[in-house]
Chains A and B, each alone.
Chain A
Amino acid sequence: MSLLEIHNLKKHFPVGEALFSRNKAVVKAVDGVDLSVEEGETLGLVGESGCGKSTLGRAILRLIEPTDGEVFFQGKNLLTMSQRELRDMRRQMQIIFQDPYASLNPRMRVGDIVGEGIEIHKLAKGRAKRDRVMELLHQVGLREEHYDRYPHEFSGGQRQRIGIARALGVSPSFIVCDEPVSSLDVSIQAQIINLLQELQEKMHLTYLFISHDLRVVEHISHRVAIMYLGKVVEIAKSDTIYRDARHPYTRALLSSVPVPDMNRKKQRVLLEGDVPSPVNPPSGCSFHPRCSYRAAICDQTEPPLDFNSESHGVACHVFGPIKRA
């Protein structure tokens, strides 16, 4: 059994909702996602901004209430839990945020920020709690004298370390990393990613690693899922994605990654147009208006996520495993 299993998860946001209006427009931020995450692995989740990847991460943890679907964590359905059961469950699953400036309460000391989870779940008290926080600070590469400081005294990378220490405080088994390095300098990105990998090995953590940066995801992930307009369009082992991408969107994303090789001429796949509005997504395959391989069927029916091997799934009429007429 996987640690985390998601079935047909949906999150629709109403837009321009008036009190008595009938026809409510909705943004389908997450529109029927199936995923599973194995214990100890890192699943990379990649997509353009606005494709719903952050919403998906938060909907899994019920930080945003999903519209529909099921989320099984350690075999228990999170979406049918009461608030009380959920609060206990939160010990097991944590989140690390993108913006290290918005993710720490400016009026709390570092020690209180990191120690809060320990206190809430009554894991340690007084002296023992302080020791535990010190240990956590040390684990993420901070020093003891940082305990009594306030967040504004730290740089972006250090703040991100505080955020990681806070998440680790309750000894979770699963962490959603919501673009944890996207707003950091490149040199510090590497440090944080190495830290996350180190911690994963030491504490046997499972990550859902959300990013728009394929290079970052390539390095840390065991498997990668590609999202487009609220749906997963391709999922495969990390090396498979980079070697043998099938979906035209995945290929376009891959070709946009700069390669530091002067001699290699790369063929770039340029996407035409913009991401369509998620309020009014295109019929059939939502990628078809931008796809250079589109067939007649593409604007008629939506391609399901079909698996050609056990681990490689593609949602495409043209390049998918099963050819349709």
Chain B
Amino acid sequence: MSPTQSSTEHRAADFAVAPGGGSGDALWSGVWKRFKRNPIARYSFYVVCGLFLIALFADFLANDKPYYLSYQDRTFLPIFRSYLVKIGLAQWPPELLNVDFKKLEGATAVFPPVPYLPTDIDLTAPFENPSPKHWLGTDRLGRDVLAGMIHGSRVSLSIGFVAVGIAAMIGITMGAIAGYFGSWVDLVVSRLFEIMLAIPTFFLLITVAALLPPSIYLTMMIIGATSWVGIARFTRNEFLKIRNLDYVTSAIALGVSDRKVMFKHILPNALAPVIVSVVLGIAGAILVESSLSFLGIGVPAELVTWGSILHEASSATFAWWLAVFPGAAIFITVLAYYLVGEGLREVLDPRLRGLR
């Protein structure tokens, strides 16, 4: 080689754009493309999306108020109006205040597919078998099981997401600090991980529930504050790996602050395995919440959740519908999250790529 070629030559040469163009978002669209190719993961993802929609539109799927009501020559949209009443923008007209919409004389109404709220107690119809009236039967107080399950999905999902959101915030921060600073910081934080692992979450929750009034927010916080270790470990490992790459060194050489290096340069590149552990964490949190509700602690008694319906079944073993349907809901939900998580892992982990 003779590096004495004309120095202007380099301006023209060397401009072949590497294949696989597009933008950096191409990385995520590639992930989605490969994820879709795995049918199990794809259908699980649809199940998760379906649960989301059910939770989002629970009021429109199971409600004791009709969508549309024509009564005394006036028309109402009671479900929508109930939202407005809740935020104080409207009031019920006196003739509709605290009435049972199903028993209004001479009214025409269009009800949701499940015309009950989970809180509608009907003591005349306890432990009813599944029937056209109550699709999945009723419980000890005559509450509709399907309505309870539809509204209970909100509790499950919100606990899953909020608890894991808290866990992700703590875990990513802890893991980032341990992996980025290394040496004695890593040593101290890693020991903290081990201490956290040694705390039995479940017994802590039972203890707290015994000492404090049951609250869904408290449950979220405790699950979040005790389940971040897995996320933290993944984050730490990724940070350890990426921290020594040249682009991180070059950011440090430019004088970028530690916090910016951690969250702008390393974290976006470390996110893939963290996302997997977050998705798996949601499944775990849902399971913990169901177990707590089954034991009758954690969430207030008046709140119907999948676990609390199961709890009813434990004292009424003949009412098989109280055990089977919420049990299946928990099973399917947790399984769907796990399979989505596994599917993501296969797509995001280069070591598993090409095995299938």
Q: A90-B255, A103-B246, A166-B254 are in contact. Are A190 and B3 (CB under 8 A)?
A: yes
The minimal Cβ–Cβ distance linking B95 to chain A, given in whole angstroms, is 61
Q: A194-B5, A194-B7 are in contact. Are A121 and B269 (CB under 8 A)?
A: no
Cβ proximity bits A87-105 to B, threshold 8 Å, 1 near / 0 not: 1101101110111001111
Cβ proximity bits B264-290 to A, threshold 8 Å, 1 near / 0 not: 010011000000000000000000000
Can you list the 5 inter-chain pairs with the closest CB atoms, starting with the nearest? A191-B10, A103-B246, A90-B255, A190-B3, A150-B24
Contact assessment for B253 and A107 in the assembled complex, using a CB-CB cutoff below 8 Å: no
- Set of chain B residues within 8 Å of A121, measured between Cβ atoms: 255
Cβ proximity bits A129-160 to B, threshold 8 Å, 1 near / 0 not: 00000000000010100000010111101100
Q: A107-B268, A170-B254 are in contact. Are A190 and B5 (CB under 8 A)?
A: yes
Task: Determine whether A193 belongs to the interface, using a CB cutoff of 8 Å to chain B.
Answer: yes
- Set of chain A residues within 8 Å of B23, measured between Cβ atoms: 150
Contact assessment for B16 and A90 in the assembled complex, using a CB-CB cutoff below 8 Å: no
The minimal Cβ–Cβ distance linking A104 to chain B, given in whole angstroms, is 6
Contact assessment for A63 and B247 in the assembled complex, using a CB-CB cutoff below 8 Å: no
Contact assessment for B17 and A154 in the assembled complex, using a CB-CB cutoff below 8 Å: yes
Listed by A's residue number, 18 A-B pairs whose Cβ atoms lie within 8 Å are A61-B253, A63-B249, A87-B255, A95-B253, A103-B245, A103-B247, A104-B247, A105-B265, A107-B24, A107-B27, A117-B254, A141-B14, A153-B22, A189-B1, A191-B10, A191-B14, A198-B7, A216-B3
Task: Determine whether B21 belongs to the interface, using a CB cutoff of 8 Å to chain A.
Answer: yes
Interface residues of B in 164-191 (CB under 8 A from A): 187
Interface size in chain B (residues, C-beta < 8 A): 37
| Complex: chain B residue closest to A98, CB-CB | B246
* A interface residues, Cβ below 8 angstroms from B: 19, 58, 61, 63, 86-88, 90-91, 93-95, 97-99, 102-109, 116-117, 120-121, 141, 143, 150, 152-155, 157-158, 163, 166-167, 169-170, 186-195, 197-198, 215-216, 219-220
Contact assessment for A157 and B14 in the assembled complex, using a CB-CB cutoff below 8 Å: yes
Task: Determine whether B302 belongs to the interface, using a CB cutoff of 8 Å to chain A.
Answer: no
Interface residues of B in 16-37 (CB under 8 A from A): 16-18, 20-24, 27
Give the complex CA separation of A198 and B157 in angstroms: 61
Contact assessment for B1 and A215 in the assembled complex, using a CB-CB cutoff below 8 Å: yes
* B interface residues, Cβ below 8 angstroms from A: 1-5, 7, 9-11, 13-18, 20-24, 27, 187, 245-247, 249-257, 265, 268-269
Give the complex CA separation of A95 and B251 in angstroms: 10
| Complex: chain B residue closest to A176, CB-CB | B253
The minimal Cβ–Cβ distance linking A122 to chain B, given in whole angstroms, is 11
Give the complex CA separation of A90 and B117 in angstroms: 65
Give the complex CA separation of A107 and B272 in angstroms: 13
Give the complex CA separation of A187 and B246 in angstroms: 24
Known contacts A103-B247, A150-B24, A155-B17; 12 additional CB pairs below 8 A are: A58-B249, A86-B255, A97-B249, A105-B247, A107-B27, A109-B24, A120-B257, A141-B10, A153-B20, A190-B2, A190-B4, A195-B7
- Set of chain B residues within 8 Å of A216, measured between Cβ atoms: 3
Most chain A CB atoms below 10 A, which of B3, B13, B257:
B3
Q: A102-B245, A194-B3 are in contact. Are A116 and B254 (CB under 8 A)?
A: yes
Contact assessment for A63 and B253 in the assembled complex, using a CB-CB cutoff below 8 Å: yes
Give the complex CA separation of A192 and B11 in angstroms: 10
- Set of chain A residues within 8 Å of B250, measured between Cβ atoms: 95, 97, 103, 163, 166-167
- Set of chain A residues within 8 Å of B27, measured between Cβ atoms: 106-107
The minimal Cβ–Cβ distance linking A118 to chain B, given in whole angstroms, is 9
Give the complex CA separation of A97 and B1 in angstroms: 21
Contact assessment for A152 and B18 in the assembled complex, using a CB-CB cutoff below 8 Å: yes
The minimal Cβ–Cβ distance linking B242 to chain A, given in whole angstroms, is 10
**Selected contact of A158 from candidates B1, B5, B15, B251, CB within 8 Å:** B15
- Set of chain A residues within 8 Å of B16, measured between Cβ atoms: 155
Contact assessment for B14 and A158 in the assembled complex, using a CB-CB cutoff below 8 Å: yes
Contact assessment for A219 and B4 in the assembled complex, using a CB-CB cutoff below 8 Å: yes
- Set of chain A residues within 8 Å of B246, measured between Cβ atoms: 97-99, 102-103
Contact assessment for B20 and A152 in the assembled complex, using a CB-CB cutoff below 8 Å: yes
| Complex: chain B residue closest to A90, CB-CB | B255
Contact assessment for B247 and A95 in the assembled complex, using a CB-CB cutoff below 8 Å: no
Give the complex CA separation of A192 and B13 in angstroms: 11
| Complex: chain A residue closest to B244, CB-CB | A102
Contact assessment for A153 and B254 in the assembled complex, using a CB-CB cutoff below 8 Å: no
**Selected contact of A106 from candidates B10, B24, B253, B256, CB within 8 Å:** B24
- Set of chain B residues within 8 Å of A104, measured between Cβ atoms: 247
- Set of chain A residues within 8 Å of B247, measured between Cβ atoms: 102-105
- Set of chain B residues within 8 Å of A186, measured between Cβ atoms: 1
Give the complex CA separation of A106 and B268 in angstroms: 10
Give the complex CA separation of A105 and B1 in angstroms: 31
**Selected contact of A120 from candidates B3, B20, B254, B268, CB within 8 Å:** B254
The minimal Cβ–Cβ distance linking B175 to chain A, given in whole angstroms, is 19
**Selected contact of A219 from candidates B3, B13, B24, B252, CB within 8 Å:** B3
